[in-house]
Amino acid sequence: MGRAAIGIGVGARAGLGAALCRRFSEEGLHVFLAGRTQERLEAVTAEIHAANGRATPVVADTTVAADVVRLFDTAEESEGPPELVAYNAGNNRFKPLLEMEDEFFEDLWRLCCFGGFLVGREAARRMLPDGGGSLLFTGATASVRSRPPFTAFASAKAGLRAVAHGMAREFGPQGLHVGHVVIDGMIDGDQLNRRFPQFKQQKGEDGMLRVDAIAAAFWGLHVQQRSAWTLELDLRPFKEPF
């Protein structure tokens, strides 16, 4: 048995999920990457293998409990309980409230909040008997501030934050370090650069959060000594107004 990490919400190679998994593998962990698209997971896996890291792609929908259990089973059969789990799924979508269908609101909640609960519960079930580890959640500005047209996204992200805070208080004393990372700015990654390529130029040098810099912060949380744990970390570019 080795040391394992699970990253949930991995898509494009340029995205945060991929960067988290790359960093965890660089630190010597066997990374289990989960997302819904086989080809994208395989591309990130190939990149990690090329750097002599260990990675296993697992196609899984984080809103489906059976998928989450299968993901943890796959990791555990190979390496035992993971020492680090990162919940990164949570694609932002927005719409004016008066035009919002019930499904739109509910789907966002399933991805951004319910999936985090499913993963957090499974992580606690597997990791607590093993002495604990780290369970880290990706937050957003919307986790702590609700504004139109992001009201549905914000309500789901605030819910995820509540899951993280509740779990930290319940399971911290048993050795599970729960961290919630508020990403308070635009990520210089696939999502925005593909959909809104103008932002990068508008923001200027280091005006968007670099995925490798965020991944370094996640790793920093994981290796904190338990007499001084962080529950919530907020990250923003140096010139971001807030």
Give the residue with the Cβ less far from ligand NAP, 136 or 187.
187
Give the residue with the Cβ less far from ligand NAP, 146 or 191.
191
Give the residue with the Cβ less far from ligand NAP, 24 or 132.
24
Interacting residues toward ligand NAP by CB under 6 A: 9-12, 15-17, 34-37, 40, 61-63, 88-92, 111, 138, 140, 183, 186-187, 189-192
Minimum Å gap between C-beta 236 and ligand NAP is: 10
CB atoms within 10 A of CB 180: 28
85-99 CB burial, b ≥16 within 10 A, e <16: bbbbbbebebbeeee
Q: DSSP assignment of 130-144, as one string?
A: GT-EEEEEEEEGGGT
3-state secondary structure of 110: helix
Determine if residue 80 is left, alpha or beta; phi over 0 gives left, psi from -120 to 50 gives alpha, anything else beta: left
Give the residue with the Cβ less far from ligand NAP, 111 or 132.
111
Minimum Å gap between C-beta 173 and ligand NAP is: 27
Minimum Å gap between C-beta 90 and ligand NAP is: 3
Minimum Å gap between C-beta 115 and ligand NAP is: 6
Minimum Å gap between C-beta 209 and ligand NAP is: 7
Q: Which helix (H) or strand (E) holds 187?
A: strand 187-188
Contact 161, 144 (CB under 8 A): yes
Give the residue with the Cβ less far from ligand NAP, 70 or 80.
70
